[in-house]
Amino acid sequence: MDIENLKDRAKSFYLSSGGFFLDGYDLSVISYALLFITKEMSLNAIEVGLVTAASLMGMGIGALIFGYLSDKVGRKKLMGIDLFFFAVFAVLSGLSTNFYQLFTFRFLLGIGIGGDYPISSTIVSEFSPSRSRGRYLVGSVAMYWLGTLFSAIVNLVFLGTGNYFWRYSFLLGGIMAVPIIVGRITFSESPRWLVSKGLLKEKGLPAPEEETKGLTIRDLLKGRVGLTLVSLSTIWFLFDVASYGIGLYYPSLLHQFAFPSELETLYATMLISVGAIAGYLIALTVIDSLGRRFTLFTGLGAMAALLLIGGIGKVSGFVLLPYFMGFVAMEQWAGAVTLFYPTEVFPTSVRSTAQGVTTAVSRVGAVLGVFVFPSMVKSLGLSDSLMLFGMTSLIALLISVFSVKETKKKRLEDTAVGKASTINTQT
């Protein structure tokens, strides 16, 4: 039995990436809907920020809890539970009548989506063949932007029903989770996790010590392993400050600085999603040939350059559309690697927990960006705000150069750090 060529890895990809699709749908569907929810519920600026960030807050908590439990009790047992949170609270979010209900339900919804990050990315990593693992991982993360694009299409379809259209969009999100939950119930447990627990022993399989590298969850903050965890968490944190800080406000930025028509704003938002998907398609062609370091460095470097140039050039008006399309296309190169990379450099015994920790830290960055960006734009203007976020991307790039090692086409047993491991930045 070749653990890297299991017959159901395609099933693992689609069922796992379904969580990223729902995440993209959920986080994006409210971005446009807020233009109407703010008026309907008479939300003030602080309440708008809290509603926007509610799911991100919940994601941090969900990632920590489900990431830890996934390493303790297995991936399969939790794969349906996390999306059950999403389905229930997505529906309840659509039925909300005031700020308190909407914030609470979207926070709880976020717990489910956050819990799915470490589980789904770990599953894809553990089921994918070494030679093309990068394409599987990038492909699964790309589903986020397919969800984003679909949310814009759904909003467009329901827009004709009146100002309450957003309720139908939210309800549909909950309904879409049901078939994915049903599919996950029949999914098999990760063989790597079974091997690490001594529950699967067959000729040709790695030994348990190869999967664990002698690490337990208590070792995550010790020595080189701890330094790896802190470095990757910091990179993802800085990336999300800029990515989410700007990303969740594309509709409002386009509406304020480029397109006064709400319908034009929606079409422009859809084109930004197309730009992101194009970025992922290109990344798919280089991730396993040119490697993780090249993809990450190029993505973060392009983000920093575009944000700094946009700030210095004071980009505004219609030009914002192609500018944001180009930015989001290159942003995905960095976003994909920051998301899945921890699953390649931590052993099976702590893989999901480490992914949960890095996810949780990244959500702190996302929440910070979401809260700070509107105030920055109001006090400093769009140009200076873009430049400040450009600096966070540049810092993330510098840290990456010294802390990210190459993992392309290597077995997870060979890329995972252990107690005696060092951080090798050689390609």
**pLDDT given for residue 45 in this prediction:** 78
Look at residue 380 in the predicted model and tell me its pLDDT. Answer: 82
pLDDT in tens, 284-295: 999 999 999 999
Architecture (CATH level 2) of domain 9-415: Up-down Bundle (1.20)
SS (H, E, C) the chain: CCCCCCCCHHHHHHHHHHHHHHHHHHHHHHHHHHHHHHHHCCCCHHHHHHHHHHHHHHHHHHHHHHHHHHHHHCCHHHHHHHHHHHHHHHHHHHCCCCHHHHHHHHHHHHHHHHHHHHHHHHHHHHHCCHHHHHHHHHHHHHHHHHHHHHHHHHHHHHHHHCCCHHHHHHHHHHHHHHHHHHHHHCCCCCHHHHHHCCCCCCCCCCCHHHHHCCCCHHHHHCHHHHHHHHHHHHHHHHHHHHHHHHHCCHHHHHHHHCCCCHHHHHHHHHHHHHHHHHHHHHHHHHCCCCCHHHHHHHHHHHHHHHHHHHHHCCCCHHHHHHHHHHHHHHHHHHHHHHHHHHHHHCCCCCHHHHHHHHHHHHHHHHHHHHHHHHHHHHHHCHHHHHHHHHHHHHHHHHHHHHHCCCCCCCCHHHHCCCCCCCCCCCC
Listed residue (393, 371, 278) closest to 326, CA to CA = 278
Instruction: Report domain extents, the chain.
Output: 9-415
Distance CA 18, CA 79 (A): 11
Extract the tokens encoding 198: 């001594």
Dihedrals phi, psi of 410, to nearest 5 degrees: -110, 150
Give the integer Cα–Cα distance in Å for 12 and 127: 7
Alpha-carbon span 126 to 298, nearest angstrom: 26
pLDDT value at residue 2: 44
CA distance 92 to 101: 8
Instruction: Answer whether 94's CB lies under 8 Å from 29's CB.
Output: no
Q: Which pLDDT score is estimated for 420?
A: 59
Cα(401)–Cα(208) distance, rounded to whole angstroms? 32
The pLDDT of residue 149 is 86
39-67 core/surface letters (b: 16 or more CB in 10 A; e: else): eebebeeebbbbbbbbbbbbbbbbbbbbb
Q: What is the reported pLDDT for 237? A: 95
Positions in the chain short of pLDDT 50: 1-3, 5, 421-427
pLDDT score of 421: 46
Q: What is the pLDDT of residue 6?
A: 54
Q: Please choose, from the candidates 172, 263, 180, the residue with its C-alpha nearest in 3D space to the C-alpha of residue 13.
A: 180
Q: Token digits for 45?
A: 């600026």
The pLDDT assigned to 422 comes to 40
309: CB partners within 8 A, 6+ apart = none
This prediction has a pTM of 0.88
The number of angstroms, rounded, from the C-alpha of 269 to the middle of its chain's C-alpha atoms is: 19
Contact in structure between 138 and 125 (CB atoms under 8 Å): no
Amino acid at 244: Y
End-to-end CA distance of the chain: 30
